[in-house]
């Protein structure tokens, strides 16, 4: 396998843009990424794109083909990857795999999305063979209630308080003020978060990410090309995808077996993170910061524990001591996270890579993690899809 570098990044800011198409958003991100990389569109040898259910793609998830049509058809191969909200992460993994294995030398990885209003409805398939449909019709557990149940278990086990949950949102928004790409660039007080509407106890409106429009793109290439052409390469130390294990206890459908361990954890995320970290040859103490998928503040507590960054029940204390801020010992989501961006689902995994590159280049400004040399990003999607990437500032 060859070493792979990210040499260019581009983003359209996250928000709601009723007068722009998803193609408009992607074009901004791709043009920036090409310019940042110093690479012409004709030099791109392959496109890995996240397939969207919500916008573009002609109903078939052909979002990469939309981008190629827009930039100009060069005959370039397109790989459209579908993995729910992990699609951006999966597309990055496929792009990395193809450059690392020598099939292509320079690739574009892109994801963009315009989301419909409201919380994401689950599968959208209305038939009794679909477990998500059964779950909604017979019980009625939309996404926020699922997160509520996961969080409620933690409260019972570790005594997590509503105030601690709110403090995570306050931390996220304090970071977002320094991020020009974030949708909500505004500080929130503890009182404002605790005063927001209860969505599914114990989770409040300002503790759950809304949906957004946005697009992100990166240019990746082989080490030889990066060294010859790029002033500012950032290196992919490990990239992995995984799917969920049979026995992880997460109530994804209507029912499953009670696992031997009794608890529930997102095995697809843990497996991807473990694989990416093993490939990079790093352990938690060597990771300087992480961008994790905080659809809800709860995940800032559970994920670091599930990945071995701290012991079960320690995450609240670390957060309260400020260790998860950019200047702490375990910085989480210096970007401001999904809390500050909202979720343009299939663009998220690529936006996370953009944040890793920004931090590892030292371009984080007011949200910079001091001396950041190794970063981890993780995405999670419907269907039990997980992705992770570890990046380094130096090989």
Partner 1 sequence: MPQATPVVEGLFTDTANGPRLTGSRCAGCDMPYLPVSALCHNPDCDAPDLQPAEFGPWGVIWSLARQDYPPPAPVKFDEPYQAYAMAVVDLDDGLRVLGRVATDDPESVDVGQRVELIIDTLAHDEDGKELSTWKFRVVEQGAGA
Q: Which residues bind to partner 1, rule: CB under 8 A? A: 118-119, 121, 126, 128, 133-142, 145-146, 148-150, 152-153, 155-157, 197-201, 246, 249, 251, 254-259, 262, 264
Residue-wise burial string across 15-40, b where 16 or more C-beta atoms lie within 10 A, e elsewhere: bebeebbbbbbbbbbbebbbebbebe
The first and second tokens of residue 219, run together, are: 């240019």
Which of these, 27, 77, 81, lies nearest to 51 by C-alpha position? 81
Q: What's the min distance (Å) between Cβ of 123 and partner 1?
A: 10
Comparison of 128 and 228: residue with beta carbon closer to partner 1: 128
Strands 234-243 and 385-392: antiparallel
> CB-wise, 21 or 196, nearer to partner 1?
196
Q: Provide the CA 353 distance to its chain's centre, in angstroms.
A: 8
238 DSSP β-pair partners:
390
Concatenated DSSP letters of 105-168: SEEEEEEEE-PPSSSPPS----STT-HHHHHHHHT---HHHHHHHHHHHHHHHH---HHHHHHH
| Least spacing, CB of residue 121 vs partner 1, in Å | 5
Give the nearer residue to partner 1 in terms of CB position, either 153 or 185.
Answer: 153
**Nearest distance in Å: CB 39, partner 1:** 43
Write down the least CB distance from residue 192 to partner 1, Å.
18
CB atoms within 10 A of CB 74: 12
Angle at 122 between CA 111 and CA 83, to 5 degrees: 35
User: Going by DSSP bridges, is the β-strand pair 213-222/4-15 parallel, antiparallel, or unpaired?
Assistant: antiparallel
Minimum CB–partner distance for residue 315 and partner 1 (Å): 16
Compare residues 117 and 231 and give the one whose CB is closer to partner 1: 117
Rounded to the nearest whole angstrom, what is the least distance from the CB of residue 340 to partner 1 in the complex?
A: 22
**What 3-state class would DSSP assign to 368?**
coil
**DSSP letters spanning 334-355:** TT-HHHHH-B-GGGHHHHHHHH
Q: CB of residue 154 vs partner 1: minimum separation in angstroms? A: 9
Residue 27 or 135 having the CB closest to partner 1: 135
With respect to partner 1, which residue has the nearer C-beta, 146 or 351?
146
Nearer to partner 1, 270 or 374 (CB): 270
**DSSP type of residue 83:** B
Nearest CB to partner 1, comparing residues 145 and 310: 145
* Distance in Å, CB of 126 to partner 1, minimum: 6
- Could you tell me which of 238, 7, 216 has the C-alpha nearest to residue 105? 7
β 106-113/213-222 pair status? antiparallel
């Amino acid at each position: 396998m060859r070493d792979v570098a990210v040499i260019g990044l581009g983003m359209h800011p996250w928000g709601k843009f009723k007068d722009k198409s998803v193609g408009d958003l992607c074009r901004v991100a791709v043009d920036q990424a090409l310019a940042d990389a110093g690479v012409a569109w004709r030099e791109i040898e392959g496109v890995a794109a996240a397939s969207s259910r919500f916008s573009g793609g002609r109903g078939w998830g052909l979002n990469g083909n939309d981008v190629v049509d827009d930039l100009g058809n060069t005959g370039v191969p397109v790989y459209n990857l579908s993995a729910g909200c992990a699609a951006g992460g999966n597309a990055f993994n496929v792009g990395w795999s193809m450059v690392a294995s020598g099939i292509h030398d320079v690739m574009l990885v892109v994801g963009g999305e315009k989301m419909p209003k409201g919380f994401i409805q689950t599968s959208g398939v209305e038939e009794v063979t679909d477990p998500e449909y059964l779950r909604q019709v017979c019980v009625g557990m939309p996404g926020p209630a699922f997160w509520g149940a996961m969080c409620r278990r933690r409260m019972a086990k570790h005594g997590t308080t509503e105030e601690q949950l709110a403090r995570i949102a306050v931390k996220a928004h304090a970071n977002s003020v320094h991020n020009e790409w974030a949708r909500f660039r505004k500080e929130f007080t503890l009182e404002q978060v605790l005063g927001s509407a209860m969505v599914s106890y114990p989770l409040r409106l300002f503790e759950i990410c809304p949906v957004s429009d946005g697009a992100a793109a990166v240019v990746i290439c082989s080490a030889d090309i990066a060294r010859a052409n790029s002033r500012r390469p950032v290196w992919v130390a490990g990239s992995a995808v995984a799917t969920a294990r049979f026995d992880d206890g997460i109530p994804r459908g209507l029912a499953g077996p009670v696992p031997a361990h009794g608890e529930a954890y997102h095995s697809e995320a843990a497996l991807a993170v473990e694989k990416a970290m093993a490939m990079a040859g790093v352990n938690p103490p060597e990771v300087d910061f992480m961008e994790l998928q905080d659809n809800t503040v709860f995940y800032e507590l559970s994920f670091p524990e599930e990945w071995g960054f701290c012991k079960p029940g320690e995450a609240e204390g670390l957060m309260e001591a400020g260790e998860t801020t950019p200047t702490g010992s375990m910085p989480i989501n210096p970007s401001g996270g999904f809390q500050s961006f909202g979720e343009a689902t299939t663009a998220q995994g690529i936006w996370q890579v953009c944040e890793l590159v920004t931090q590892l280049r030292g371009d984080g400004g007011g949200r910079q993690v001091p001396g950041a040399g190794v970063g981890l990003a993780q995405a999670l999607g419907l269907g039990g899809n997980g992705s992770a990437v570890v990046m380094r500032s130096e090989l």
